[in-house]
Amino acid sequence: MPFDDRLKNTQTPHRVYALCKLIQYNQSLTKEELCQYLQPSSLNKNDDVFKNVYDLADKGELIARGSDGNVILNLTDHEMASIDSFRRAIANRAFDNPQLTFCRFTAWYLMRGPEVYSEKSKDLVVHFDREININKDINMYNETNVIGWRTWVCFLGLGFIHNGIVVPNAARRLQDVLGEDRQMERDRPIAFKDFIVWLNQHCPELDYGELSHNNRGQAVVREQNLSLALSAGLRALHDSGKIKLGYVRDARDVWYLESAATHEITGAVSEIVIGRW
Task: Answer yes or no: is pLDDT of 89 > 80.
Answer: yes
Query: Where residue 134 falls among pLDDT bands split at 50, 70, 90?
Result: low
- Residue 87 backbone phi and psi in degrees, to 5: -60, -45
In contact, 13 and 87? CB cutoff 8 Å: yes
Q: Would the pTM count as exceeding 0.85?
A: yes
Provide DSSP, 23-83.
HHH-TT--HHHHHHHHS-TTT-S--HHHHHHHHHHHHTTSEEE-TTS-EEE-S-TTTTSSH
Q: What is the mean pLDDT of the chain?
A: 93
When the candidates are 3.30.519, 1.10.10, 3.20.20, 3.30.70, the CATH number that belongs to 13-73 is 1.10.10
Task: Answer yes or no: is pLDDT of 3 > 70.
Answer: no
Domain boundaries, the chain: 13-73, 87-168, 172-274
In contact, 258 and 277? CB cutoff 8 Å: no
Taking residues 201-215, report their average pLDDT: 95
